[in-house]
Amino acid sequence: MSKAYQVSTTEFSIALSKDNLHQYDIQKVNDNIYSLIHLGKQYTIEVLPHSDIKNKEINVLINGQAMNFDIQRPIDLLISEFGFKNENDNNQNQIDAPMPGLVLEICVHTGQEVNEGDSLVILEAMKMENIIKSHKTGTIKSILIQKNQSVQKNDTLIEFE
């Protein structure tokens, strides 16, 4: 189950689903330790120094138990909800359809070297042409679609070696 976490200076909220939001009281103890109280139970949260905030990853100890979380801003959640990949997904070896549509053009061929930002596929969706670009530099391993083919959101279009 995907969890969304929201933090502000006065409260800590965890959205376990769109309809389920839990309120917590959280206080900063020192630079990397927080005290969280929920339903009368206290939790000690220590943010570990090897957290990688730049890459939106945080590592914590909650009552001594190690946990890792991905940090997502509201815009990250919206981008994900629309089916687009965010800038940190560039290690994937495939390109998926961000929306349902019709393949108008395939701009690459199997075995072709491509650079990040190169056009791969032109997909028509809602009477608009959308250019699907490469999120990485690599070699095209396989093309799983054909011109004039209909695709659904998240269908794999192209695989990289």
Give this prediction's pTM. Answer: 0.48
**Any domain includes 76:** no
Do residues 58 and 109 share a domain? Answer: no
pLDDT of residue 113: 96
Q: Do residue 48 and residue 89 come from a single domain?
A: no
In sequence order, the 6+-apart residues with CB closer than 8 A to the CB of 22 are 13, 14, 15, 16, 38
Are both 101 and 58 inside the same structural domain?
Answer: no
Element holding 142 (H helix, E strand): strand 138-143
Q: What is the mean pLDDT of each run of 10 residues along the chain (161 residues)?
A: 44 45 76 84 85 75 83 71 56 84 95 94 89 91 96 92 92
